[in-house]
Amino acid sequence: MASQLDRISAEIFQEIVALGSSLRALNWQSPSRDKFINDYAELQQKIQRCAEQGAALGARVQREADEWEQAASTFVAGGLTPEQKRAQAVTTGRQSIRSKWREMSFEERKKWLEDYYKSLCTKLGMEPIKFNIKDLKDPPKGDWRGSYSPGIIFGLFSSMTVDIDNVKDNDPFSLLDTVAHETRHQYQHYLVDNPDKRPDNISEDQIKAWKENFNNYMKFEDDVEAYRNQPVEKDAREFGEKAEREYVEGEAEVI
């Protein structure tokens, strides 16, 4: 099912782009043409956003399916290997986190997410900034889940924000991903401003690419594919997914 969701999302994304190209290539002479093309472009971006969310859901359910398969392998005869024990613990840990999340009050959820954010800052070697949970006005083409604002010069008035609607309604794992994603954007800006703090696992060329990207940032509403493929977004997306997995595994070790 995860594979099918990913495949269908990719097909929808490609088909809506191809159709848009065909429409713009039509030899259509009419006063209503421009309005129609603009209306279609808005529809295209909405559908592409949904396809992007579908692909993310497919990836998330695939990760959980892999964990369940690993856990299922623990029921073989002859005892459990260390890998099997860990797989079983991760599955139990994910269930435990989800159960705790459902029982948390809004203030408890806020504190849990802020503590998670601060732990990421410590791991990355930078100071946390103001952490907000408030209503982010969703664009007409999607869901604005979180944001990082670099503020003005030297990071003055910088802030991290998570959408209040998602904190009220969403599962904890997508929020862990969102917080980590936006924290990574903070870290990208931090290294661009402080290249002497660069760790060994990040090259000078990578920081240079981030700096150039920030100066020529492509917004989602302007070009969905270009937005997703630009260096700072690809890096933040990969970091968010990895950090969410590592958090679940870390919780599993406690159980």
**Is a pLDDT exceeding 90 seen at residue 132?**
yes
State mean pLDDT over 56-81: 69
Task: Answer yes or no: do 48 and 167 share one domain.
Answer: no
Q: Check residue 70 and give its pLDDT.
A: 67
Of 67, 95, 122, which residue sits at a domain end?
Answer: 67
Q: Check residue 253 and give its pLDDT.
A: 59
In a domain, 193, yes or no: yes
In a domain, 125, yes or no: yes
Distance CA 17, CA 225 (A): 10
Q: Check residue 155 and give its pLDDT.
A: 62
Percent of the chain with pLDDT over 70: 89
**Is a pLDDT exceeding 90 seen at residue 17?**
no
**Is the C-alpha dihedral spanning 220, 221, 222, 224 positive or negative?**
positive
- Report which of 45, 38, 8 is spatially closest to residue 23, judged by C-alpha positions: 38
In a domain, 94, yes or no: no
State mean pLDDT over 146-162: 83
Distance CA 177, CA 239 (A): 8
Of 15, 42, 67, which residue sits at a domain end?
Answer: 67
Distance CA 250, CA 142 (A): 32
Phi, psi of 89 (to 5 degrees): -65, -40
Task: Answer yes or no: do 251 and 146 share one domain.
Answer: yes
Task: Answer yes or no: do 34 and 127 share one domain.
Answer: no
In a domain, 97, yes or no: no
Domain count, the chain: 2
Task: Answer yes or no: do 132 and 11 share one domain.
Answer: no
Q: Check residue 196 and give its pLDDT.
A: 93
In a domain, 87, yes or no: no
> pLDDT tens digits for 198-216?
999 999 999 999 999 999 9
In the DSSP assignment, the letter for residue 161 is E
Of 67, 97, 122, which residue sits at a domain end?
Answer: 67
The whole domain housing 126 covers: 105-255
State how beta strands 130-134 and 159-163 pair: parallel
**Is a pLDDT exceeding 70 seen at residue 153?**
no
pTM (two decimals): 0.69
Task: Answer yes or no: do 62 and 133 share one domain.
Answer: no
CB 241 within 8 A of CB 59: yes
Task: Answer yes or no: do 119 and 22 share one domain.
Answer: no
Task: Answer yes or no: do 7 and 126 share one domain.
Answer: no
Task: Answer yes or no: do 123 and 238 share one domain.
Answer: yes
In a domain, 100, yes or no: no
Distance CA 71, CA 222 (A): 43
**Is a pLDDT exceeding 90 seen at residue 251?**
no
User: SS3 for 23?
Assistant: helix
Task: Answer yes or no: do 127 and 185 share one domain.
Answer: yes
Task: Answer yes or no: do 59 and 121 share one domain.
Answer: no
State mean pLDDT over 84-91: 72
Q: Check residue 71 and give its pLDDT.
A: 64
Phi, psi of 166 (to 5 degrees): -70, -35
State mean pLDDT over 214-226: 82
Give 255's pLDDT tier (boundaries 50, 70, 90).
Answer: very low
Distance CA 60, CA 63 (A): 5
> pLDDT tens digits for 108-122?
999 999 999 999 999
**CB atoms < 10 A from the CB of 56, how many?**
17
CB 42 within 8 A of CB 49: no
Task: Answer yes or no: do 144 and 48 share one domain.
Answer: no
Name the H helices within the chain. 2-25, 33-72, 82-103, 106-124, 164-169, 172-193, 204-215, 224-229, 231-254
